[in-house]
Structure 1
Amino acid sequence: MTSKNIVVLGASFAGLPMTHYLIKHLPEEYTITLVSPSTHLYWNIAAPRAIVDPELLGKGKDDLFIPILPAFEKYPSGRFTFVQGKAVSTSPETNTVTVQTINESMDVKQVNIEYLHLIVATGSSTAGGDWAFKAAGSGTDVATRAALGSTRDKIAAANRIVISGAGATGCELAGEIGSKYHKSGKHVTLLSSASGLLPAAPPSVGKAAEGHLTKMGVEVRNNVKVTSETKKGDVTELVLSTGETIETDLHIATWGLVPNTSFMPKDLLDGSGWIVTDKYLKTPTHSNIWALGDVTHWGNRGIGAVAEHYKSVSTNVLAAITGKDESSFNEYKHKDDLALIVPLGPWFGRGTGILFGWKVWGVFAWALKGRTYMISMARPIVEAA
């Protein structure tokens, strides 16, 4: 293993801070290669509002997509390389990752990149379609902006909208649509396959969300899910688990995450495709392959978990490179404590959630997240401030 190149796959909430940290702290003979399909950070936390009306993000709307490369210009020449593309295969035996490069004209080619250590922070995609809750299509900012605009236009044109999936994303989207269009005659239906909304939270939190949404005219249906979907002209026919068939102009599925790990060897993944790591967030069979963020098998896939992952991986990669053993590593201590803040539109006091085991009042949900979807946090991540 002669390469002194560290490869980071993914340039979002996990990969960007990791890359900046390594450039700042590694001995100067080491280089860092960052691979991402996008040249911009997409603040997808704000997706439910950006999909419906980005103007309601206020001054922060311009930070929905932030270029990531200018922040790397401050580092010495030759330390950092950016490759726009997606990993398509990994060879732990040769310490090589194969990347399919892309650009805005969609010219593609494959390049092989050698690594001393590989850090995987490729995240996940939504299972229910390209609605821009995550990076869409090819993963470029151009593709995601296009998906945002397309979804927004479809919502504006639809008279009947069905949202399936009543986790945070589904509830937030229903709240944004309900807030903007509650007097327009649109009929919005939110389907939950569980006995209530936000099923990961205590029932009182879901009840609070349902109360806010019904006041906006959103129809909430619990214990029901979509079993099949058929497009018939401009109408979509949905068959529900109750046996009922309903028609809608637009069906938006918000349920489920799919790991972005198709390029990883199967023996490094669990049965659902997430990367299996040990307590130091490295793979058990390859001590130079690490994972952090959504892509790991640990669950609790929220932005709050990223900070703990980052603390462990940044410390441990640096320790490994400088010749230290596991006694110097930072052990990741997984927590399943639920932290959930769910704004339900931009109106004051509309929202709910759970934090530190306590149900969050609507005014706090609005203040913490509902005003701007925390978009002011995006630029410090990009700039490593």
Structure 2
Amino acid sequence: HCAPLACSLTTTRIGPVAAMPKQIVIIGGGPGGIACAQALARRLRAADDTHVLVLEKQNYQFHAIGVPRAYVEESFAPKLFIPFNNAFPKGAGAFAKVQRAVATKIDASASEVHFKPIGDDDQPSGDDKIKYDYLVIATGSTYTVPIKPDADDYHRSTVEKKLGDVRDHITNAQSILIVGGGAVGCEVAGEIASKYPTKSVTILDGNDKLVANANVRDKLRTKLMDALKAMNVKVILGERLDERLNENCLEKRTLKTTKGTVIESDIQLLCAGQRPVSALVKDMKASLVEDNGYIKVNASMQLDDSEFENVFVVGDASNHATPKLAYFAGEQGKHLAGELLARIRGGKAPFKPFPVPAVGALIVPLGPNGGVSQLPVMGGSVVGNMMTRMIKAKDMFVTMKWGELAQLRTSDEGNGIRPFASSRTSTTMPKRIVIIGGGPGGIACAQDLAAHLTASDDVQVLVIEKQTHLFHATGAPRAYVEETFAEKLFVPYDNAFPEAARSFVRIQRAIATKIDAETNTIYFRNIGSNDQPSESEDSVHFDYLVVATGSTYTVPIKPDERNLSRAAAVQQLHDVCEQIELAKKILVVGGGAVGCEVAGEIAAKYPEKSVTLLDGNDKLIASGKLLPRFRENLMYGLQQLKVKVILGERLTERLTKNCAETRFITTDKGTQIESDLQLLCAGMLPVTALVADVKPSLVTKTGAIRVNDRMQIDDPDFKHVFVIGDASDLPVQKLAYIAGLQGKHLAAQLATLIKAPEKEITPYPIPSVEVMLLPLGPSGGVSQLPFLGGFVMGSWFTWLIKARDMFVTKRWSELGIS
């Protein structure tokens, strides 16, 4: 299904590899192995003179976390096979590779790994070997097939067929027995009961409690039991089958437990039996493997034998005290990558131990709409459906995992935007909704209209947008320190709408120039392939108008409004990235969310640089309705990164843009600041000229458009004109996420109006508590969630939700590219 990556690092006989002084070999491309390889690929430089080779028997990573969903959704199964093609940055291809092969032997005396390459016929053949300076064993574990593929299945089609067989039997069965009350068993039961509420589903486990081996509070187990019972899942604990089940059994059987309980079922699904894959180490030295199969390691994940100090084990195969979860395997891989990098660069310090979490984390979806979770904060915070759905249940981490392996690609066959007939050629449509602006609010409104309406509703939706892509400004702080990240911020509109909706929902690349309120007409200039607006104007009639023009901000956190070239916007981001790399002392002006994120990204990437954050207010993010604890944690996080924060002082000379020159600046209170780069992170201005030209009084002194609580322009003459996002004066946060929520809310209201014009528009709900997710670099930050009066979370949660990729994967997925 995907060609294996070419690899020039396969054997000791190949010149380039033999000449390399350092070689890191990783056996296994699962969550731990690939995370280690990716972290090394991102951080290694040519001067490090090091190659990284991953030996992996498949040309994809199998996302086992998603199997419970694939048991009930046929279309979900292909999403579990994630190719390695784009796992590493383009620049790392010369020294980081994945070799499709089966490792057969570790010869520690010669520091060699023997392996059999796997060809296009999916069969291993021949014998080869490669030397290593450091060896990482990430062989993982086996589990009941097909929750994890059979170790001997090299054909993807075979794995898919086995998934399909189980799914077909679940579909046809009326009674289902699930043997195993761990997280997987509970998830499988939840998926089946959610999809097929009329089926009889029973969970059987020999322990006296669910998820018995997990480090979780009893509160989670109680909520989990209650949730399963609410789905009519029968749970039998403290009993085992008389007859041991070694695999799924897809036939009708009557079974008895050790306590005499009789269970009739059409199929029996085994959800237990995780076993570490440790044969390679056992063959090398049997005493390194425990009786239960786990490989003995020390706290630093090295083999627990002084003879093997350059051999490490990450993930399920080791006896490290960390929970056996894909997330922790990935974290171990990243941690080890950092330690190996330090040693490669001459470090002599002992390898740092991998920290064992004091509080367990467990996220158990019970179908796509919810479940129960324990978060590793506040001694183990147990949460329910909303958080579980938001974090995992909606897609079982599939989007996140594809994003981690950089599988965010679209075709190069043009921008996919079809022109929409103007009012001079299309006058037969009885209803037309025009949306000016394809940013987070505008595109969310259009997408939800596409979902709510059908062609038979006789409505056209037109989005007027000057770019071929949505610019994901949320990720700009990361692009300030990672050059390759800039490309990810330009998300094409090609697949924004489902095929069925493309006959009535379209994007027109154009600049709106005028609103004629008397005739309900929008005038615009089309933009050609040369990124230039045409000299002639066109027009289109509207029945409802949505103004989603957003706001401007310091370039290049948002692109220059006058610049319609994607290449120019990318270059401006690259320029700032280069300026930051060269600078030694950096001043960030503006202590709002963006300024804090930019300071955090720089300090995390370049801990040796001096970073100063200046703001004229006496507290960070002064305009936000945030809890004192949030600001305290934010200040602490910045201080831990050695960011100097100066509050309550302003520059005597106003900064209007970024400035890359050495300057000695004095604040209004006499503080002197020396910097060779000044970054402006302030100055958001709503884009409201189109409305101001119609009627100046519709715009406030601060430049925002006056709206009522229904997001209509606050004037009886303009009840059919709505404003969403940054351009309005609605008293909500000016965030992309909030703009998207407004767009979705308005879409539902407009769809109702189209079908029932007598209906009243529902006001947009103003939250009493604000939400804020603020990364300080890729590994953490601080967040405030809008429930329980404001719930403040730290680095782990912020990393999980946003910091890892700044919502890039989520944004591409929302626009239909995965």
Q: TM-score range by the shorter chain?
A: 0.7 to 0.9
Query: Relative to structure 1, is the Cα distance of residues 40 and 34 closer, same or farther in structure 2, using a 3 angstrom cutoff?
Result: same
SS of corresponding position for 1:178: helix
Of 259, 277, 287, which residue of structure 1 is paired with 2:707?
Answer: 277
State the distance in 1 between where 2:641 and 2:502 align. 55
State the distance in 2 between where 1:308 and 1:106 align. 30
Query: Relative to structure 1, is the Cα distance of residues 89 and 238 closer, same or farther in structure 2, using a 3 angstrom cutoff?
Result: farther
- Cα shift readout 1:215-239 (whole Å, capped 9, x = no counterpart): 3232211211223148999334544
SS of corresponding position for 1:113: strand
- Cα shift readout 1:201-224 (whole Å, capped 9, x = no counterpart): 333322322222233232211211
TM-score by length of 2: 0.43
Structure 1 gap ranges (5+): none
Of 807, 812, 815, which residue of structure 2 is paired with 1:374?
Answer: 807
Of 661, 670, 673, which residue of structure 2 is paired with 1:234?
Answer: 661
- Cα shift readout 1:13-44 (whole Å, capped 9, x = no counterpart): 22112223334405453222211121112222
Name the structure 2 match of 1:190.
Answer: 613
Name the structure 1 match of 2:797.
Answer: 364
Name the structure 1 match of 2:477.
Answer: 48
Query: Relative to structure 1, is the Cα distance of residues 77 and 304 closer, same or farther in structure 2, using a 3 angstrom cutoff?
Result: closer
State how 1:219-258 maps to structure 2 within 5 Å: 219-229=644-654, 234-236=661-663, 238-244=665-671, 246-258=673-685
Query: Relative to structure 1, is the Cα distance of residues 211 and 279 closer, same or farther in structure 2, using a 3 angstrom cutoff?
Result: closer
Q: CA deviation at 1:133?
A: 4.2
SS of corresponding position for 2:719: strand
- Cα shift readout 1:334-368 (whole Å, capped 9, x = no counterpart): 22421112111123xx3113223122122222222
SS of corresponding position for 2:438: coil
Name the structure 1 match of 2:745.
Answer: 312
2:727 alignment partner AA: V
Q: CA deviation at 1:378?
A: 0.8
- Cα shift readout 1:301-334 (whole Å, capped 9, x = no counterpart): 123423542343113222333452243x222122
Name the structure 2 match of 1:337.
Answer: 769
TM-score by length of 1: 0.86
Name the structure 2 match of 1:179.
Answer: 604
State the distance in 2 between where 1:16 and 1:379 align. 13
State the distance in 1 between where 2:529 and 2:642 align. 41
SS of corresponding position for 2:519: coil
Query: Relative to structure 1, is the Cα distance of residues 371 and 72 closer, same or farther in structure 2, using a 3 angstrom cutoff?
Result: closer
Of 424, 445, 449, which residue of structure 2 is paired with 1:18?
Answer: 445
State how 1:25-44 maps to structure 2 within 5 Å: 25=453, 27-44=456-473
Name the structure 1 match of 2:284.
Answer: none
Matched, 1:91 2:523: no
Name the structure 2 match of 1:205.
Answer: 630
Q: Contact 2:520 / 2:543 at 8 angstroms: preserved in 1?
A: yes
Query: Relative to structure 1, is the Cα distance of residues 271 and 84 closer, same or farther in structure 2, using a 3 angstrom cutoff?
Result: same
State the distance in 2 between where 1:145 and 1:332 align. 36
Q: Contact 2:531 / 2:564 at 8 angstroms: preserved in 1?
A: no
Q: Contact 1:17 / 1:384 at 8 angstroms: preserved in 2?
A: no
Greater share of strand: 1
Query: Relative to structure 1, is the Cα distance of residues 139 and 232 closer, same or farther in structure 2, using a 3 angstrom cutoff?
Result: closer
* Percent of residue pairs bearing the same amino acid type: 24
Query: Relative to structure 1, is the Cα distance of residues 169 and 139 closer, same or farther in structure 2, using a 3 angstrom cutoff?
Result: farther
SS of corresponding position for 1:52: coil
State the distance in 1 between where 2:441 and 2:512 align. 17
State the distance in 2 between where 1:351 and 1:139 align. 34
Structure 2 gap ranges (5+): 1-422
Which has the greater radius of gyration?
Answer: 2
SS of corresponding position for 1:153: helix
Name the structure 2 match of 1:267.
Answer: 697
State the distance in 2 between where 1:384 and 1:14 align. 18
Query: Relative to structure 1, is the Cα distance of residues 72 and 198 closer, same or farther in structure 2, using a 3 angstrom cutoff?
Result: closer
1:39 alignment partner AA: T
Matched, 1:288 2:717: no
Which structure's relative contact order is higher, taking Cα pairs within 8 Å and 6+ residues apart? 1
State the distance in 1 between where 2:565 and 2:705 align. 24
State the distance in 2 between where 1:324 and 1:233 align. 56
Query: Relative to structure 1, is the Cα distance of residues 334 and 135 closer, same or farther in structure 2, using a 3 angstrom cutoff?
Result: farther
Matched, 1:105 2:530: yes
| Range with bigger deviation, 20-29 or 30-39 | 20-29
- Cα shift readout 1:108-128 (whole Å, capped 9, x = no counterpart): 2233222121111121121xx
SS of corresponding position for 1:368: helix
Over the aligned positions, Cα root-mean-square deviation in angstroms equals 2.9
Q: Contact 1:31 / 1:80 at 8 angstroms: preserved in 2?
A: yes
Query: Relative to structure 1, is the Cα distance of residues 360 and 87 closer, same or farther in structure 2, using a 3 angstrom cutoff?
Result: same
2:767 alignment partner AA: K
Q: Contact 2:660 / 2:676 at 8 angstroms: preserved in 1?
A: no
Q: CA deviation at 1:247?
A: 4.1
